[in-house]
Amino acid sequence: MSEQLAPTTSPPAPPASYEPTDRTVPTRSRERASYDRELVHAILDEGYVCHLGFVRDGAPVVLPTLYGRVGERLYVHGSTGSRPLRAAGQADPGLAVCLTVTHVDGLVLARSAFHHSINYRSVVVHGTALQVTDPEEKRLALDALVDHVVPGRSADSRPADAKELAATAVLRLDLREVSAKLRTGGPNDEPRDLALPHWAGVLPVHTAHGTPVPSADQDPAVPVPDYLTAL
């Protein structure tokens, strides 16, 4: 009788949505909140800069920084001398943080000053940031940070050497307590204001990439990479 092989099983797919918590349910405009996993990932993947908030010496601090996503984890990096990065390595179990990413999609101009607004997409992540100490995960994180800015760039640049790696710290933040929030559409004017002689509507806002500008010391024989012109 031949031996039966155990069936190969794949890890279960993550739920389609993140579980709401007391910290991720907004107190205002709850109808704009979303916990859809794909939407959260799309908003994160489109951005370049996040704002990392934490408490230092009893006072709140918010720092803008680059980030990268690998699956259900976000990575941010900085100097090993950076206070939040040192704190994440020294604290047990880590550094409590709040990370945000926001895209402005339009300026909403109403007939009344009170109802002016913006159309936006945002993500807020609460959690505990931990310093990455595993060398392989650290290299993966740094590649993700480079490719987040320009996909394909990490394979087309010199990787960090031992000295550079030693001077660079990386934080890991798992995507567990997460929410997205969005506003779309036009102004919400009061009925009594509709007849006022003021223009109302939305001024769209877009991020655009310009023509690549070579470095002054660039070898003219080196062409602009396809992954860059694709942007």
Residue 199 covered by a domain = no
Assign residue 59 the CATH number of its domain.
2.30.110.10
Task: Divide the 231 residues of the chain into consecutive groups of 10 and give the mean pLDDT of each group.
Answer: 52 83 86 93 96 92 94 87 61 85 98 97 96 91 94 92 89 96 96 96 94 91 89 79
Determine the pLDDT at residue 9.
Answer: 61
Q: Calculate the dihedral angle through the C-alpha atoms of 49, 55, 59, 63, rounding to the nearest 10 degrees.
A: -10
122 and 92 Cβ atoms separated by less than 8 Å: no
Cα 97 to Cα 174: distance, rounded to the nearest angstrom: 11
Residue 93: the pLDDT is 74
In a domain, 200, yes or no: no
Residue 113 lies in a domain: yes
pLDDT of residue 1: 41
Give the bridge partners for 62, in sequence order.
Answer: 53
- CA separation (Å) from 77 to 125, 160, 206? 17, 13, 27
15, part of any domain:
no
Residue 198 resides in a domain: no
- The count of structural domains within the chain is 1
Q: Which domain holds residue 97?
A: 30-187+221-229
Is 21 a member of any domain?
no
- Residues ≥6 apart with Cβ < 8 Å to 116: 108, 109, 110, 187
Region for 94 from its dihedrals, namely left if φ exceeds 0, alpha if ψ lies in -120 to 50, beta otherwise: left
Residue 68 in any domain: the answer is yes
